[in-house]
Structure 1
Amino acid sequence: MPYVQNTEEDVQQMLAAIGVKSIDDLFAPIPAELRFKGEMKNIAPAKSEADVIRDLQNLARKNRDTSSFASFLGGGIERHFIPHVVDHISLDGNFITAYTPYQPEVSQGTLTSIFQFQTMVSSLTGFPISNASLYDGATAVAEAVMLSLHSSQKKHKKENRRKVVTPVNLHPEYRATLNTYAHASGLVDVVEVGYDKNTGLIDRAAFNKAIDGGGVLCALLPYPSFFGTVEDLRPLVEKVHAADAVAVAVANPIALSLLATPGEMGCDVAVGEGQPLGCYQALGGPAFGFFSCKEDFIRHMPGRIVSQTVDIEGKRAFCLALKTREQDIRREKATSNICTNQALMALRAVIYLAAWGKRGFVELGEQVASNARYAAQALEKAGAKRRFASAPFFNEFVVEGPADLEARGRKAGILPGINLSRFHSDMKNCYLISVSELNTKDEIDRLAALFR
């Protein structure tokens, strides 16, 4: 420990306080043969900064991201065009933080951007309340369940409601995260319901049976589903509300450019993965989760909330609101253990949406949907069998492909979608094809050629 600035007397006092005789005793749990002895033999001699940068650049050139391919990978993390202005503004050093500021008097710029983010999310989802963002879509889903739990504990004090109705066509990683929350807390029971094998939509009979069984906290409603299918949520919401439970829409924000909002569908809460809004795929992150709801649930909402007010001079200003919900004040009684947000990624979403504008964002959705429909038709003409073909879809759909589709794709410079057998054993050789405005006709035609 040569770099710790403690005297030998300091060291002996600390060792005595924890009941060990020497620093070596601290490493006793590590097998002797694995402990470091002497010098590190496999480290190259020191190099100049220029040489180190050159070596790192040479290594980086070996990496290939989805822009190097005709990519049809999606499943929640999508590739969309990002206007240059998004990088230009978000890389300003004054903005680079993941945190909501604690001192509003010196943080009006950041708080303004977060308030704009909340306003835009509210517009997309059709709800009056939005928070400052969460870590990602998966944690947003789990936190929506916790909101439902806290709301139920107050509303249904004499009932022990624990059931979370979860369709299997919800993103599998969202379901895995929810199961982690459920296991760790011991407060909720996840009840999974299947999907119609012909349409990919929620199995209505199984859904109704789960709701009618009683004890329901909430139901999670994919919009669209992990298979890309889109269904009218209103009959499902009515069933959930008849049980006096919470209807949670799990939405794709790009799809909301064209689809009716979760608010219009009658849902109570809307959550989802925000990465498509101006964030790169970047091996799955960083991203952010969005979370909005009806005003009835505001005191059960997780995360920070920025509110508009006036300062001592009567000028418009922004501050953190309803802080008594949060863990730094309420401790174990807080609505959530989430104590920050994804401020930089949320800022990117604000710039991205502002760059498109209201009409431009709708046109983006129209282009995405148009490309996806061309792709579905091209693949079917090439001989691919499309699963769930009778159900509406936005930008993703499922096809059956040859067993060596991924190998064919690599040779052709194509990433042909997610192999769904990773998540669903009954979907061998089925692929989730994700299409965006960046996929050209030539790329789609090349993808179709892999199925011939």
Structure 2
Amino acid sequence: MDFTPHTKQDISMMLEHLGLRDVDDLFAHLPIGVLVDRSPAIEKGVSEPELQHTIAVWARSNRSDLICFAGAGYYDHYVSPTVKALTFRPEFVTAYTPYQAEVSQGMLQVLYEYQSMICGITEMDITNASLYDGATAAAEAVNAAMFATRRSAIWVSSGVSPRIRETIRTQATARDIEVVEHPLVGGRTVWATDAGPQPAAVLWAQPNYLGAVEDYDAAVTAARQQDALAVVSYDPMTLGVLRSPGSAGVDIAVGEGQALGNSLSFGGPGLGLFSITTEYVRRMPGRIIGRTVDRDGATAYVMTLRAREQDIRRAKASSNICSNEALNAVAAAVQLGWLGPDGLAEVGEQSAQKAHYLAERLEQIPGVRRANEAPFVREFAVLLPMEPEIVIEAMADRGYLAGVALSKDYPDLPGGLLIAVTERRSRDELDGYVSSMREVITNG
């Protein structure tokens, strides 16, 4: 089969549609210092060991020793060595979907167990074998809701991750979907019943991007009043201490599963969690692994409900996704199995206790205060008396990844810094963070 790359005319048409002058404009949003404006200074004909050494020297420029207080969707939770020990086994390290059940029982069973565990912690009816990441999962939930209701508008809380909202808006532009955002007041979403067209879905985050715990009942009620699907983007690591989506009456529960056994890895790969009620299972994207029996009556595992998928239904399918993040799902299953219900609750409790301790200590620094008084679990926003970007750089010099600046995504929080605390942070690290923050702010 011939491979025909994009012609110059194709590229020009795409750039014109995007309102860009050239391909370099695609990277114009990146910070100064990140882009390489020259060819790497590598001599021709160097040996492989020499090249590896050169790259290793470059890699040392990356700061990987900072104590992490940044979150915003990706978190520095403890990952058991058991996860790597099992996921590095050759039986699991594959990019292929296990179509041939007769030779894939091991992988199919692990994915089935993963689905069962996610159903267990969310109390939802059915979970798929994973999607690409949390943003993809949210966009697919919107897609499913549109097919189920035949509507072309959605209501989205401003507390949903900005990256997720960007993904949904990208999809909306292509499909003529109207996205109506509902504001945060005091850190939590206020749902306006007269906000716009009747929506296919009402989407919010629990906890939201600023770390605040949302009112499940208010969100679900807003969806029911509009005969729309209730869709929540949840944080799996808080389910040991917060109400589950299923118990709240949610129709679709999506989330980012990076914290379940997967490292930060400079931002990826992620793991899309997607669960749904039985009523809408035919709208679910991705693979579903089911348990059955073979002709001898022994337990067996197969992909099920395949007729709804894109490779079979083609243009009539509700989703174009025909794959998943299987290896990351395996890691999540191992991590959840290692934690157990009590371990998941302990992670949530420790994170919450340490986050509240840090928040109280930070508010003792003159000029620092919480951005809102909403309840939170392990992440919260503070307002600083100086630019957060300057604080982040100064804190990095002192060994801390201080958090995530909020002003770009939330202009009404110009001095906002989002701070995350996980069970990994010690009392000494928390106190050291406070001391360093006090020094940075005092010195101006």
Q: TM-score, normalised by structure 1?
A: 0.85
Question: 1:243-392 counterparts in 2 under 5 A?
Answer: 243-383=226-366, 384-389=368-373, 391-392=374-375
How many angstroms does 1:306 deviate by? 0.3
How many angstroms does 1:398 deviate by? 0.5
Q: 1:144 aligns with which of 117, 134, 141?
A: 141
Aligned amino acid, residue 426 of structure 2: T
How many angstroms does 1:41 deviate by? 12
Give the gaps of 5 or more residues in structure 1.
Answer: 1-13, 19-25, 31-39, 154-160
Whole-Å Cα distance in 1 between the matches of residues 236 and 422 of structure 2? 13
Query: 2:46 matched to which residue of 1?
Result: 47
How many angstroms does 1:87 deviate by? 1.0
Whole-Å Cα distance in 1 between the matches of residues 156 and 96 of structure 2? 31
Query: 1:34 matched to which residue of 2?
Result: none
State the SS of the aligned residue for 2:193: helix
How many angstroms does 1:138 deviate by? 0.5
Matched, 1:116 2:113: yes
Matched, 1:88 2:74: no
Whole-Å Cα distance in 2 between the matches of residues 136 and 41 of structure 1? 32
Whole-Å Cα distance in 2 between the matches of residues 85 and 347 of structure 1? 12
Q: 1:441 aligns with which of 418, 421, 427?
A: 427
State the SS of the aligned residue for 2:351: helix
State the SS of the aligned residue for 1:345: helix
Whole-Å Cα distance in 1 between the matches of residues 141 and 317 of structure 2? 14
Matched, 1:167 2:166: no
Alpha-carbon spacing, 1:324–1:412, altered in 2? closer, same or farther (3 Å) = same
How many angstroms does 1:168 deviate by? 1.0
- The number of aligned residues is 403
Query: 2:33 matched to which residue of 1?
Result: none
Matched, 1:419 2:416: no
Query: 2:14 matched to which residue of 1?
Result: none
Matched, 1:125 2:122: yes
Matched, 1:192 2:181: yes
Any conservation in 1 of the 2:159–2:204 contact (CA below 8 Å)?
no
Any conservation in 1 of the 2:172–2:178 contact (CA below 8 Å)?
yes
Any conservation in 2 of the 1:248–1:269 contact (CA below 8 Å)?
yes
Any conservation in 2 of the 1:165–1:193 contact (CA below 8 Å)?
yes
Alpha-carbon spacing, 1:296–1:46, altered in 2? closer, same or farther (3 Å) = same
Divergent runs of 4+, >6 A: 26-30
How many angstroms does 1:46 deviate by? 2.4
Based on CA coordinates, which of the two structures has the bigger radius of gyration?
1
Any conservation in 1 of the 2:109–2:301 contact (CA below 8 Å)?
yes
Aligned amino acid, residue 428 of structure 1: P
State the SS of the aligned residue for 1:216: coil
Any conservation in 2 of the 1:224–1:230 contact (CA below 8 Å)?
yes
Q: 1:232 aligns with which of 211, 215, 231?
A: 215
Aligned amino acid, residue 309 of structure 1: T
State the SS of the aligned residue for 1:59: helix
How many angstroms does 1:231 deviate by? 2.1
Any conservation in 2 of the 1:249–1:267 contact (CA below 8 Å)?
yes
Aligned amino acid, residue 385 of structure 1: R
Aligned amino acid, residue 417 of structure 2: Y
Post-superposition Cα deviations, 1:162-191, rounded to whole Å, max 9, x if no partner, equal 2200111111010000001111122x2111
Give the gaps of 5 or more residues in structure 2.
Answer: 12-38
How many angstroms does 1:102 deviate by? 1.0
Post-superposition Cα deviations, 1:369-423, rounded to whole Å, max 9, x if no partner, equal 111111111111223211112x110111000123231232022111111000121
Any conservation in 2 of the 1:98–1:340 contact (CA below 8 Å)?
no
How many angstroms does 1:282 deviate by? 1.1
Alpha-carbon spacing, 1:122–1:41, altered in 2? closer, same or farther (3 Å) = closer
Matched, 1:208 2:193: yes
How many angstroms does 1:441 deviate by? 1.6
Any conservation in 1 of the 2:202–2:222 contact (CA below 8 Å)?
no
Q: 2:170 aligns with which of 163, 166, 180?
A: 180
Query: 1:57 matched to which residue of 2?
Result: 56
Query: 2:394 matched to which residue of 1?
Result: 408
Worse-superposed segment, 409-418 or 232-241: 232-241
How many angstroms does 1:448 deviate by? 1.7
How many angstroms does 1:143 deviate by? 0.4
Whole-Å Cα distance in 2 between the matches of residues 28 and 235 of structure 1? 51
Q: TM-score, normalised by structure 2?
A: 0.87
Worse-superposed segment, 54-63 or 247-256: 54-63
Any conservation in 2 of the 1:99–1:341 contact (CA below 8 Å)?
no
Query: 1:11 matched to which residue of 2?
Result: none
Aligned amino acid, residue 427 of structure 1: L
Any conservation in 2 of the 1:269–1:293 contact (CA below 8 Å)?
yes
How many angstroms does 1:61 deviate by? 2.9
Whole-Å Cα distance in 1 between the matches of residues 10 and 159 of structure 2? 45
How many angstroms does 1:242 deviate by? 2.4
How many angstroms does 1:27 deviate by? 8.8
Whole-Å Cα distance in 2 between the matches of residues 439 and 224 of structure 1? 20
Identical-residue share of aligned pairs (%): 38
State the SS of the aligned residue for 1:79: coil
